Structures are given as C-alpha cells and as structure tokens.
Chain A
Amino acid sequence: MQYSIEAEGLEKTFTGKHTVRALDGVSFKVEEGTVFGLLGPNGSGKTTAVRILTTILKPDAGHARVLGHDVEKKAGLVRSLIGLAGQYAAVDENLTGRENLRMVGNLNHLDRSFIDGRAKDLLEQFDLADAGDRPLKTYSGGMRRRLDLAAALVAHPTVLFLDEPTTGLDPQSRNDLWEVIESLVGGGTTVLLTTQYLEEADRLASTLAVLDHGHVIAGGTPAELKADLGATVLEVGLATMEDAARTAPLLDTLGDHATSLNGTVVEVTVDDGPRAAMAGLRALDQQGIVPLSFTLREPSLDDVFLALTGRRAEDENEETGDPDQVRRRRARRRAATEAMPIATGELS
C-alpha cells in the first residue's frame, strides 16, 4: 500500500504562559489519492498536526513523512510537493486575486509564462474571474476562502492540506467549497482535511481520525464511525427537570444507544429516526408527558465525543473566549457530567 502521508508518534508541547500538550503521540496514515479527515474540537491538536506535516513546525518527538520524504530532513522538497490552505494560511489583503496567485507561483519557483496561465485558469475554476483584478479587501468571506484554496493549488500539489477550510462560512459558500474539493479529489490529489464538523468529514473524507487533547481516540471510515454512533439523534426538550428525568428511561428503550440527559433536554441516537420518533411520542403520550420540542437531527461532533468519551467536546480555548460563552459551555458540560449516572450502558 502506498501512503502519501505518514505520521508516527507525533508529540508537541507548547511552553509559555500556559503549557499546552498539543500532540501526545499521534499516528495515522493516509492512502494515496484519498481524503483523510482529522476531526476534533478547537484545541484538540488538529492545526498543530497540520503545521508539522507542512514543515512549519518541528515535532518534539515522532516522525512524519509526506510522499515518503521526512518533513524535517527533506523540508525543502516536501514544500515543493504540498499545498496548504485554511484558517491559518492567509492571502494578502492588499493584492488582487491574480497578484496573490502570481506571488505564490513565483515563490514556488514556477515559470513566469506558466504562472500567468495557471492564475487565469484557477480564477475561472473558482468562479473568481470577474473579481480577479480587484483587491482582496473587496472579497466576501467565501471568495477569500476560494482564493486561499486556489493559492494552495498554484503549483499542482500532489498532497493538499486544508485546515478547517469552511469554518466561519455560510452554508451556501460551504457547499460551494465542498464541491470544489470533491472535484480536486477526483483528479487524484491526496487531501488531508481538518474539521470540527462531522457532516463535512462525512461528506468529503473516506477515512477519519478523531482527535481529542492530542490523542487519536477513534479512526475508520465515516460509515464505521456512524454505525457506532447511530444515524440520527432524537432530541426532546421538556418543561421541567422532573419531566426530563421521567422521559430519559422511556427513550432509552428506542435503540441500542444510551440516552443522555442535558438539563431539560433528553437526547438519544437511533438508527431509524422516523420509527423511533413515533415510538417515542407514543411512550410520552402514555405517560402524559408533553414535550416542549421534539427534533430529529444529524449527529454532531459533540455526539461523536459523547459516544466515544462519555463527555462532550471540550474547547481548549474556552478560557480566552467570550465570558458568556465560557459560562454557557461550562454549564453545558456540568449538566452533561451530572447526567452520567442516568446514562445506562457504556459504548465501547
């Protein structure tokens, strides 16, 4: 089997005001021509892994190879084979789209004549032909991300790293970008994608690794991960904690998966959403419980974490966040912890 990316026991600790163990022995392999998804919340180590694989950062321990070349010993060669786009690889605000692409082409040491044609092609491919000669200041968020991705592709990289390519985009722009990434993979490029969205990983990646506090806590195909998890989440909101406590055991009978009680909200992952919904409503009706809300939804990263670790995805950056948000997150986590005794049965 040919692997385009290999990470072996990567470790990285950032020392400073707060010492952070960003990677604590991360290993994975990515087959040639596939899309690999690195799934995890903020602070789980996704970006650190990408920075090491793209030669920006040296690991404290472990090795990484891209197309068989060690990223530390052959950094120059690796850089000529990869492309990087995403939340941390930016484009220049003061230049036009075309100037940005030309600059990246020049810094890739490509032929001038090739660069001009390539810039034109990429602007067309990414639907930026009309905006190509306008400064980036005038671009929308979605246009910027598209140009960012185009810049990563100027030199025809064999391996492409996309660090949270759609974070912060509206649903329409996100969809557009997904289509572009899908067409790239069709062309044989190997892609490593980091994301916080299970939906995104599910749609784009053929293999996944779930990162938590610098550890890989699960891996496999999205189908395998979802099979462990259940296809749909049934979420019932109740008027009182008492009602919620009565509802949880009722919903527990709907499938193989454990129910979680989160304040006055009861959640359960089920395989067959509509059938479980009907059974659930009947059970509530029999007990005379009237729910405030009753929702079927796709599982989120939070649900994956709950299933894998028994707790919700933690945001390492929370201390620096908006105080209201931090308080809400803490409350939510506390509620999730308190709900633990009620959760029957433990998922492997």
Chain B
Amino acid sequence: MTTAVVDPSTSRAPHSDSLASRIRWAVSDTLTLAKRNLLAVTRIPEALFFSTVQPIMFVLLFRYVFGDAITTPGTDYVNYLMPGIFVQTVAFGAVSTSIGLAEDLQKGLIERFRALPMARSAVLTGRTTADLVRNVFVVIIITAVGFAVGFRPTTGVLPYVAGILLILLFAYALSWGFAVIGLSASNSETAQVMSFPLLFPLTFISSAFVPVASMPSWLRGFATYQPVSVTVTACRALMLGGPTASWVIQTLAWTIGFLIVLVPLASWRYRTRT
C-alpha cells in the first residue's frame, strides 16, 4: 500500500491564467506529447518502417529500376530524383498525423487529455512537433542513402541546408492538413483511406519523379504549380543550381497559406469534435 506523499498543493505549479504562464505550459505540454508520439514511432513497427525502410526503398526503386527509363534535362537522374524523394517522403509521413490523431480519438486518449489541466492546443502542436522531429531524422537518412547511390548536389552546403529547411517547413504545414483529416475521420482506417486520394495525385502528378514535359499538356499546369512540385522545384534549384528565388517564394507562399488556413481549421475541428 502507498506511503504518505507530500501535499499535492506543494508539487503543482500554481494555477495561473497569465499569458506568460499559459505560453510556458503550452510549450511544456507540447514537448510532453511530442515525446510521447516519438516514443510511439520507435515502438510501432509500421511507423518505424514508414520512416526508414520505405524512403530507402523508393530511392533504390527509382534510382535503379525506373531511373534509366526517365530522361532528365541537364543532370543525372539521381540528382533530379533526390529532391523529389525528400518531399514525397515527408508528405507520406504526414499521414501518420491523421492516423495517430484518429487513433487517439478512437481509443479515448483525447478524452483523458480533455479532462486534464493541460494546454488544449498541445494535442495538435505535440503531434505536429513530433512529425517535424521525425522528419529531421528522415531527411538525414535519405541524405545518407542519396549520397551512397550517387547523389551529388552542386551548390554547396548552405544552399543544401536551406533546401532541407524548406522541405521541413513545407512538411510541417502538411501535418496540420492531415491533422484536419485525422480529426474528421471516424477511425484510423478511415483516416488512412481519406489521406491517400489526396496524397497520390500530389506526389505523383508532380515533378518529383519525372519531368513535367513528359506529361500530357492538360496535366502540365497542375503538375508544375501544385504545392509539392513547387517545393521540389525550389529544392532542386537550391541543391543543383538554376533560377531559385521565384520557386522559393512560391513554396513559402504555399506553406504560409496552408498554415494560415489549416492551423485554425484543425484547432476548430479539435474543439468541436465530441
């Protein structure tokens, strides 16, 4: 049986509604839940697979199986491919946000969170922060695999890092979109089913794997200017050279636009979901 423990009033931070205190606890709760979500990634074999093995398989598949059938102007296919792989992998990874949130709702964890004196926003910020951390890990793996199969960026370290940061930022915005899906689905299977019809056109009707010029003309407009393509093109320019500013600005515009729309939308879905 338990021994006497100290008065809880001495161990709990005093209840305060001041802005500084609210921000402090929102950050603390976000980190607590981000840690929880990251621990889950390491313990669910599927999640670990999607974060590590799957991107490696895509690199090998496109590099050695499809690569020789695709002609790219002015550069080796492996150089053309890698920025696409980065963006495609982080986009696929964002599905885990929708699945994870749907699962938390389904299993009643969010019910428990709602009855705790924690920051309400932390369920979503914790989830998206965990995604961001996981993506940092994923881009490091892909960088290593890319270099191993002959990827040779030509612009130097700083532009390369800038490209990676751009991808991480874009992925963070996507996470909020998939959070909306997760909060709208009745269970985790539905969340998955709802995510892929969105994800496939965005990642494959894009310039991620093949030049848009090879597509029928009616597809080219979408394939060039949709957000995944824009991010891939900006990243390609940063890593391999070419006109950069306009693509980077377009990527930032998409990203900020997504955040402005999706963060309030996801928060509203979270508040109203009963």
Q: Which residues of A contact B (CB under 8 A)?
A: 14, 51, 54-57, 76-77, 79-80, 82, 84, 87-95, 99, 103-104, 106-111, 114, 117-118, 121-122, 124-125, 135, 151, 155-156, 183
What's the Cα separation between A280 and B259 when bound, in Å?
Answer: 76
Query: Are the CB atoms of A90 and B109 closer together than 8 Å?
Result: yes
B29 within 8 A of A: yes
Alpha-carbon distance A14/B273, docked complex (angstroms): 12
Kindly state the separation between the CA atoms of A28 and B109 in the bound complex, as whole angstroms.
28
Taking a contact as CB atoms under 8 Å apart, the answer to whether A107 and B17 are in contact is no
Partner of A80, one of B3, B12, B274: B12
Which residues of A have CB within 8 Å of B36? Answer: 92, 95, 99, 103
Kindly count the residue-residue contacts between A and B in the assembled complex, taking CB atoms under 8 Å apart.
103
Q: Which of B70-78, B113-121, B212-220 faces chain A?
A: B113-121
Closest-by-CB residue of B relative to A121 is: B2
Tell me if B40 and A125 are in contact (CB < 8 A): no
Per a CB cutoff under 8 Å, which of B13, B108, B115 touches A55? B115
What are 9 A-B pairs at a CB distance below 8 A?
A54-B114, A57-B274, A87-B108, A92-B36, A99-B39, A106-B32, A107-B32, A108-B12, A183-B1
From the candidates B6, B11, B111, B122, name the one contacting A90 in the complex (CB within 8 A): B111
Measured between alpha carbons, how far is A51 from B2 in the docked complex, in Å? 29
Known A-B contacts A88-B108, A110-B11; the reply to A79 vs B5 at CB < 8 A is: no
Whether A56 contacts B115 in the complex (CB less than 8 A), given A90-B107, A107-B29, comes out as yes
| Contact status A79-B115, CB under 8 Å | yes
> What chain B residues lie within 8 Å of A80 (beta carbons)?
12, 15, 117
Of residues 189 through 232 on chain B, the ones whose CB sits less than 8 Å from some CB of chain A are: none
Given contacts A76-B15, A76-B17, A155 and B115 within 8 Å (CB-CB): no
Q: Scoring B residues 1 to 28 as 1 if CB is less than 8 Å from chain A, else 0, what string do you get? A: 1110110100111010100000001001
CB distance from A61 to the nearest CB of B (A): 17
* Minimum Cβ distance to chain B for residue A14 (Å): 8
Question: Are A117's CB and B5's CB within 8 A?
Answer: yes
Contact B111 A89 (CB under 8 A): yes
Q: A155-B12, A156-B8 are in contact. Are A84 and B118 (CB under 8 A)?
A: no
Q: Which of B17, B40, B113 contacts A95 (CB 8 A)?
A: B40
- Say yes or no: B28 contacts A118, CB within 8 Å: no
Q: Which of B97-134 contact A (CB under 8 A)?
A: 107-109, 111-118, 122
Contacts of B2 in A (CB 8 A): 121-122, 124-125
Q: Which of A84, A111, A122 contacts B115 (CB 8 A)?
A: A84
Q: How far is the CB of A54 from chain B (nearest CB, A)?
A: 4
* Interface flag for B57 (CB, 8 Å): no
Q: Shortest distance in angstroms between B90's beta carbon and chain A's nearest beta carbon? A: 22
Q: A89-B111, A90-B108, A106-B28 are in contact. Are A121 and B3 (CB under 8 A)?
A: yes
Is B107 within 8 A of A77, CB to CB?
no
Bound Cα distance from A106 to B27, whole angstroms:
12
Q: Does B44 contact A (CB under 8 A)?
A: yes
Q: Which of B29, B36, B107, B116 has the most CB of A within 10 A?
A: B116
